[in-house]
Structure 1
Amino acid sequence: MAPPAPPLLILQTLSSVSSELTFLVPRPSSHTDTMLGTLCTLITALTCVSGVTVVTQKPVVTVRKGETASMDCNLGTVTNSGANWYKQIPGGAPQYGLRFYHGNSAPTYGSGFSSPKFTSTHQSTSDYRLIISNVEEGDSAVYYCQTWDSSVNEGVSQ
């Protein structure tokens, strides 16, 4: 009789836009319809903003313990920046894992992340891959790929 197969681990990946936008919306207790309308208008407006780059990733990667997990990330039109990878365990804060730029020979690592367990490669100036070797239970998390499009930097003055 063959030994039981190791448990499956699910590594989720989510995409992040190239820049972060934060909006503070008042929360009137009796004006839910107004808030919902404002939110719908805001979402519609954001979908029409030029210069916003959406990064895309495959939603779920499933591997067995001890195997290698690979996650791809397409940075869209951003070619002048690298990919930042973050790991978030449910209920916890995102942790910075590593950054890889296609012009460098190796990634730079955040605290608790190192080679050869974690590494990154690139297939082009906008296609990056996170590789996790010898996957363990503690690697099961949501992994975010993020970039910054420095060509659209703008200042705000008062």
Structure 2
Amino acid sequence: MILSIISFDGPVWRLLPKTLAGNPAVIATAPEGRFHHSGQIAAYASLSAEGASVAIQRYLSDQIERVIIPMRLTAKRVADVRGMPAASVVWQDLRDDGIPSPTWLFSDAARQAGAEAMLYSSRSRPDLSHVVVFKPECLNTFGKASAYLSRQSE
């Protein structure tokens, strides 16, 4: 798989449980995700606050109080797979059936290429972009966390 590698220095937004607001570069605790498996490190964020809100919709039934945290991602090697539909498939249903997520092919290739992060398109809103960070030390806060009000609670 041939990946486009770019540098990135810009804002990203993370939606995290309020209990993790003091550690905003925290990695995902789930053993598997769209772009991590087998003990891999991943921290998920969006290139806009709106994108973060879109990304979290599937998980809002857990009733966890969340905050949105503005951060800056500074990375010299970022794989860019935006516009590749196969990178944005619904992976959870496949995993429920015991099938490896096809999205892992993208993140595994990015990691092999030495990427510190990977940009990808939102599945439900392709005009929005998200990022998975493989090296959380590339993330720094630049603003305060604020309460997140979901569309469901508004």
TM, length-normalised to structure 2: 0.29
User: Higher helix fraction: Structure 1 or Structure 2?
Assistant: 2
Larger Rg: 1
TM, length-normalised to structure 1: 0.28
